[in-house]
Amino acid sequence: METFLNVLLYFAVGLGGYLIGSVNNAVIISNLFFKKDIREYGSKNAGGTNAGRVFGRKVGALVMILDVFKSIISYWLITLIFLFTNLGTRIDYNAALHFAMILTALGHCYPVFYKFKGGKAVSVVAGFVVATNWLLTLVGLLIYYLLLKWKRIVSLASILTASSLVLLSLLLLIAPLRQISFYPLASQNLHYYIPTLIGLCILLILKHRTNIERLQKGTENTITWIK
């Protein structure tokens, strides 16, 4: 019976992460303020890039920020629940937390509230990093900006930045870097942290399959607003 209850706890934590991830800000904002469904316009992707392309840069930026915060909220809400309850004595807190982050990403990409048509995981990867490690956050922002300025292709910058963060996360195996770069109370268990980042990156790449095809053909959309 105890084992069954523990499995239910893992399921409940994962489900919580999935439901938070399923809140799609692009769809909400497009329906609420523009009386349109973002999934029927532009690239038909329910993410910040397409929202910016269809409704303007400010809307796109707002969607991206809200989506990043969604991932941050998922991480820290679950963390605080474990810190202020006795659930951590029943199940492995680190395993449950990182399992929930994977489910948050799946909720973002395949939201139950919106016929399983969501974003491409970029904001979830960003939110996970921002929520946990200031050093990876700063380096990731720099890499993303430089790639975007150089190639002016959002999908390429997103894929390469996420891949770079996976490689850079190996530097956290150096104890001093791990100790100073993680936020207080953030999980420093690299046995879960690095595989979770790898899993999120793989999901991001898979969701960008059509973008990768266009990149190979040289037909991927470029941006004009970055100087």
Percent of the chain with pLDDT over 90: 68
Whether 111 is in a domain gets the answer: yes
- Domain range enclosing 189: 2-217
Whether 25 is in a domain gets the answer: yes
Residue 5 confidence (pLDDT): 81
Q: Say whether pLDDT at 9 is over 70.
A: yes
Whether 226 is in a domain gets the answer: no
The answer to whether 172 touches 181, Cβ cutoff 8 Å, is yes
pLDDT for 62-91, tens place per residue? 999 999 999 999 999 999 999 888 777 788
Residue 222 confidence (pLDDT): 85
Whether 227 is in a domain gets the answer: no
pLDDT for 160-188, tens place per residue? 999 999 999 999 999 999 999 999 999 99
Whether 203 is in a domain gets the answer: yes
Q: Rounded distance, CA 23 to CA 44, Å?
A: 17
Residue 4 confidence (pLDDT): 80
Separation of CA 157 from chain center: 15
Non-local (6+) Cβ contacts of 26 within 8 A are 38, 46, 47, 48, 50, 51, 63, 67, 119
Whether 76 is in a domain gets the answer: yes
What amino acid is encoded at 58 in this protein? K
Q: Say whether pLDDT at 26 is over 70.
A: yes
Whether 119 is in a domain gets the answer: yes
Highest average pLDDT, of 62-66, 87-91, 121-125, 197-201, comes from 197-201
Residue 195 confidence (pLDDT): 97
Q: Rounded distance, CA 81 to CA 85, Å?
A: 6
Whether 223 is in a domain gets the answer: no
Q: How many domains does the chain have?
A: 1
Q: Rounded distance, CA 58 to CA 134, Å?
A: 25
Average pLDDT along the chain: 91
**Residue 125 pLDDT grade (very low, low, confident, very high; cuts 50, 70, 90):** very high
**Residue 1 pLDDT grade (very low, low, confident, very high; cuts 50, 70, 90):** low
